[in-house]
Amino acid sequence: MADLGTNVRYIKGIGEARAAALEKLGITTLGDLIAYFPRGYEDRTQVRPIRELTAGESVCVRGMVAADLTAYRISGGRTIAKTRVVDDSGSLDLVFFNMEHRRDALHQGDVCVFFGKVEDNLRRKQMINPLFEPEGRQQVTGRIMPIYPLTAGVTQGLMARAARQGLDACADILPDVLPDRVRQHHQLCRIEYAYENIHFPESAEALDLARRRLAFEELFLFTIGLERLRSRREVVHVPPCGGVDMELFYRALPFTLTDAQRRCVEEALADMRSGTPMNRLCQGDVGSGKTMVAAACVYFMVKNGRQAALMAPTEILAQQHYQGLAPLLENLGIRCALLTGSTTAKTKRSITQQLESGEIDFAIGTHALITGSVAYRDLGLVVTDEQHRFGVAQRAELAAKGDHPHILVMSATPIPRTLALILYGDLDVSIIDQLPPGRQPVQTFAVTGGYHQRVYRFIRKLVGEGRQAYIVCPMVEENDQLPDERKAVTEYAKKLQSEVFPDLKVAFVHGKMKPKEKDAVMAAFAAHETDILVSTTVIEVGVDVPNAAVMVIENAERFGLSQLHQLRGRVGRGRHKSYCVLVSDNKGEENKQRLKVMSSTSDGFAIAEEDLKLRGPGDFFGSRQHGLPSLRVADLSCDLSLLHETQSAAEQLLAADPALKNHPLLKARVELLFELNADAMN
Task: Return residues touching Mg ion (CB under 5 A).
Answer: 542
For ligand ADP, the closer CB: 474 or 572: 572
Q: Is 287 in the site for ligand ADP (CB under 6 A)?
A: yes
Contact 106, 84 (CB under 8 A): no
Which one of residues 159, 286, 364, 488 is an interface residue with ligand ADP (CB under 6 A)?
Answer: 286
Which one of residues 292, 379, 381, 550 is an interface residue with ligand ADP (CB under 6 A)?
Answer: 292
For ligand ADP, the closer CB: 412 or 673: 412
Contact 443, 579 (CB under 8 A): yes
How far apart CA 682 and CA 670 sit, in angstroms, is 12
Based on its alpha-carbon atoms, the radius of gyration of the chain, rounded to whole angstroms, reads 30
Angle at 157 between CA 154 and CA 159, to 5 degrees: 55
| Sequential DSSP letters for 29-79 | BHHHHHT---SEEEE---B--GGG--TT-EEEEEEEE-S--EEEEEGGGEE
For Mg ion, the closer CB: 311 or 355: 311
Binding partner of residue 573 among ligand ADP, Mg ion, none, CB cut-off 5 to 8 Å per kind: ligand ADP
Q: Shortest distance, CB of residue 327 to ligand ADP, whole angstroms? A: 12
How far apart CA 663 and CA 50 sit, in angstroms, is 55
Max Cα–Cα distance, the chain, nearest Å: 95
Contact 523, 496 (CB under 8 A): no
For ligand ADP, the closer CB: 226 or 472: 472
For ligand ADP, the closer CB: 141 or 468: 468
How far apart CA 420 and CA 414 sit, in angstroms, is 9
For ligand ADP, the closer CB: 166 or 287: 287
Identify the bridge partners of residue 132 per DSSP, sorted by sequence position.
114
Q: Shortest distance, CB of residue 547 to ligand ADP, whole angstroms? A: 11
C-alpha distance from residue 618 to each of 70, 235, 622, 629 (Å):
50, 32, 6, 9
The size of the interface with ligand ADP (CB under 6 A), counted in residues, is 18
C-alpha distance from residue 269 to each of 176, 244, 276, 296, 300 (Å):
45, 10, 12, 9, 8
Q: Is 436 in the site for ligand ADP (CB under 6 A)?
A: yes
Contacts of 517 (CB under 8 A, 6+ apart): none
Which one of residues 83, 288, 352, 536 is an interface residue with ligand ADP (CB under 6 A)?
Answer: 288
C-alpha distance from residue 561 to each of 313, 564, 608, 647 (Å):
20, 5, 8, 29
Order the strands of the 579-583 sheet from edge to edge: 443-447, 579-583, 548-553, 468-472, 532-535, 506-509
Contacts of 197 (CB under 8 A, 6+ apart): 189, 206, 207, 209, 210
How far apart CA 261 and CA 417 sit, in angstroms, is 17
For ligand ADP, the closer CB: 258 or 637: 258
Choose one: 91-99, 289-297, 551-559, 660-668; the region binding ligand ADP (CB under 6 A): 289-297
How far apart CA 629 and CA 276 sit, in angstroms, is 26
Run of H or E including 489: helix 485-495
Q: For the chain, what is the total number of helices (H) and then of strands (E)? A: 23, 22
Binding partner of residue 576 among Mg ion, ligand ADP, none, CB cut-off 5 to 8 Å per kind: none
Binding partner of residue 46 among Mg ion, ligand ADP, none, CB cut-off 5 to 8 Å per kind: none
How far apart CA 46 and CA 53 sit, in angstroms, is 11
Which one of residues 289, 380, 402, 414 is an interface residue with ligand ADP (CB under 6 A)?
Answer: 289
Q: Which of residues 505-564 bind ligand ADP (CB under 6 A)?
A: 542, 544
Choose one: 121-129, 241-249, 280-288, 393-401; the region binding ligand ADP (CB under 6 A): 280-288
Choose one: 105-113, 208-216, 288-296, 476-484; the region binding ligand ADP (CB under 6 A): 288-296
Contact 354, 281 (CB under 8 A): no
Q: Shortest distance, CB of residue 578 to Mg ion, whole angstroms? A: 17
For ligand ADP, the closer CB: 565 or 573: 573
For ligand ADP, the closer CB: 33 or 415: 415
Binding partner of residue 284 among ligand ADP, Mg ion, none, CB cut-off 5 to 8 Å per kind: ligand ADP
Q: Shortest distance, CB of residue 573 to ligand ADP, whole angstroms? A: 5
For Mg ion, the closer CB: 542 or 604: 542
Residue of this chain nearest to ligand ADP (CB atom): 289
Q: Is 412 in the site for ligand ADP (CB under 6 A)?
A: yes
For Mg ion, the closer CB: 277 or 542: 542
Q: Shortest distance, CB of residue 291 to Mg ion, whole angstroms? A: 5
Q: Shortest distance, CB of residue 569 to ligand ADP, whole angstroms? A: 6
Q: Shortest distance, CB of residue 385 to Mg ion, whole angstroms? A: 6
Strand pairing of 443-447 and 579-583? parallel
For ligand ADP, the closer CB: 257 or 583: 257
Q: Shortest distance, CB of residue 575 to ligand ADP, whole angstroms? A: 11
How far apart CA 337 and CA 352 sit, in angstroms, is 10
For ligand ADP, the closer CB: 358 or 436: 436
Which one of residues 126, 291, 566, 584 is an interface residue with ligand ADP (CB under 6 A)?
Answer: 291
How far apart CA 469 and CA 554 sit, in angstroms, is 13
For Mg ion, the closer CB: 293 or 581: 293
| Sequential DSSP letters for 233-291 | HTT---PPP----THHHHHHSSSPPPHHHHHHHHHHHHHHHTTS--EEEEEE-TTS-HH
Q: Is 441 in the site for ligand ADP (CB under 6 A)?
A: no
Q: Which of residues 203-222 bind ligand ADP (CB under 6 A)?
A: none
Q: Shortest distance, CB of residue 598 to ligand ADP, whole angstroms? A: 18
How far apart CA 581 and CA 444 sit, in angstroms, is 6
Amino acid of residue 204: A
Q: Which of residues 562-581 bind ligand ADP (CB under 6 A)?
A: 573
Q: Which of residues 230-259 bind ligand ADP (CB under 6 A)?
A: 255-258
Choose one: 139-147, 287-295, 547-555, 630-638; the region binding ligand ADP (CB under 6 A): 287-295
How far apart CA 500 and CA 234 sit, in angstroms, is 61
Binding partner of residue 201 among Mg ion, ligand ADP, none, CB cut-off 5 to 8 Å per kind: none
Q: Is 356 in the site for ligand ADP (CB under 6 A)?
A: no
Q: Is 296 in the site for ligand ADP (CB under 6 A)?
A: no
Q: Shortest distance, CB of residue 262 to ligand ADP, whole angstroms? A: 9
C-alpha distance from residue 53 to each of 46, 86, 127, 314 (Å):
11, 13, 11, 56
Q: Is 340 in the site for ligand ADP (CB under 6 A)?
A: no
Binding partner of residue 319 among ligand ADP, Mg ion, none, CB cut-off 5 to 8 Å per kind: none
For ligand ADP, the closer CB: 10 or 255: 255
Strand pairing of 468-472 and 548-553? parallel
Binding partner of residue 544 among Mg ion, ligand ADP, none, CB cut-off 5 to 8 Å per kind: ligand ADP
Run of H or E including 26: none
Which residues would be at the binding site for ligand ADP (CB under 6 A)? 255-258, 261, 284, 286-292, 412, 436, 542, 544, 573
